[in-house]
Amino acid sequence: FLVMPRLSGANLSQIMATSTPQPLPVILWTVRQAAQALASLHQASWLHGDVKPENLFMSEQGHLTLLDLGFASQQGSPKPSAFTGTPRYAAPELLDDTVTSI
């Protein structure tokens, strides 16, 4: 079984498209939560692989959840033979043929 919480809210792409600009403290709190989520993954030796606004989900209470670990990989694992992720949001080094591992 796979058990996950039911999330209510919207992803950051939806929020940016439909709402008025957020105050700076809210933006900073959102960025901090995303950085903390990614830091937790990295501490566990994992890379997300597809960080983009659609994969950052904000609850109605302001809690950010990092979604979609479908392209996640362990640090130091061989680089996939084909590009994975969303090119628009990819780190430049992922598109460089000279990089042999993530």
pLDDT in tens, 11-26: 999 998 986 888 999 9
Per-residue pLDDT for 102 more than 60?
no
Sheet holding 56-59, edge to edge: 9-11, 56-59, 64-66
Q: Say which residue, 77 or 40, is predicted with more confidence.
A: 40
Note the residue count of the chain. 102
- Considering the chain, what is the average pLDDT of its residues? 82
SS (H, E, C) 41-89: HHHCCEECCCCCHHHEEEECCCCEEECCCCCCEECCCECCCCCCCCHHH
Whole-angstrom distance, CA of residue 42 vs CA of residue 75? 8
Strands 9-11 and 56-59: antiparallel
User: Which has the minimum average pLDDT: 28-37, 58-67, 69-78?
Assistant: 69-78
Q: Tell me the average pLDDT across 55-68.
A: 92
Name residue 11's amino acid: N
SS3 11: strand
Quote the CA–CA distance of 71 and 67 in Å, as a whole number. Answer: 11
pTM of the model: 0.75
Q: Is the model more confident about 47 or about 96?
A: 47
